[in-house]
Structure 1
Amino acid sequence: MSATPDARPDWRNPIHLLAFGLGSGAAPKAPGTFGTLAAVPLYLLVRPLSDLHYLLLVVLLFLLGIWLCERTSRDLGVHDHGGIVWDEWVGFLITLWMAPPGWYWLLAGFCLFRLFDILKPWPIGWLDRRVSGGLGIMLDDVLAGIFGFVIIQLGRYLIG
């Protein structure tokens, strides 16, 4: 798909609204960061779930995200439009799966996820360049979430 500089979502379309993180991805600067920030209330809502139910929900959100991101990307004519932040929501939730309670863990998870999502260390960047469509949009953020998850769990183990 060729980039369309003025590609804008149709806010009346629930698929676009969800893919753009309920509008959080429409931020003019750092839409991924704003999208991740908008996922904090969702995290606080699902945090009380059991580890298994939380994980199942994340898997469902991931699968839904492949479709949402693919459809929105196709509608806008732009692969991985910067405003599509559903993938950030899922990646952020992955980072914080089984994280201990407390704002410092939430803040650490936010920072770690954003760091890995922005820097895209191997294999995140490699996959981001090679996998297209809705799966490609979702996959780099899932991996960034897994990287963040590993660091959070290591910190949990070391700190206690």
Structure 2
Amino acid sequence: MAHPARWTCLCLLLTALSATAADWRSDLPSAQRLGEGEFSWWGLRLYTARLWANAPVQGWDQPFALELLYHRSLSRDTLVQASLAEMRRLDPASMTAQRSAQWTEALERAFVDVRPGMRITGVYLPGQGCRFYVGSTLSSEIADPVFARAFFAIWLGPDARDPQLRRRLLGLADTDGGQ
């Protein structure tokens, strides 16, 4: 018969592990995958993107999660600079020097160097901001709704760099005969 103190320790350990194992799904427990697609740059497959939500995403008034599964190693600095460049491209007038500095710092806290098989998921929270998870661990929460919308517009905004990926994520890729 096992010692009661060992059972208590085991139960506490399992409880702690299950608490730390919570991931982005605790933010959107009933989310369903709406769509997915691959992003390649100059013929190199960089990541698979998946969009998760409780209902079709038709604007910026509902929460959703954008999951990126990386197929290549990329440095945190590369991820930060590419994100900022796209945010600047999409809305150059709003990217002041102060905002750029704040957003650089926020992205540096949220991101890590990635290797093939790693996953970063961003959760958009309307009117609040967003959260970033590396694997199943919360890496950063950014309480800036303007940042959140600018960041997710990289993939979901009408002027996204890859319109076909945007359509696939939103579940629209085949609704009009593939045009």
Structure possessing the higher relative contact order (Cα contacts under 8 Å, 6 or more residues apart) = 1
- Higher helix residue share: 1
TM-score normalized with structure 1 length:
0.28
In the superposition, the TM-score normalised over structure 2's length comes to: 0.26
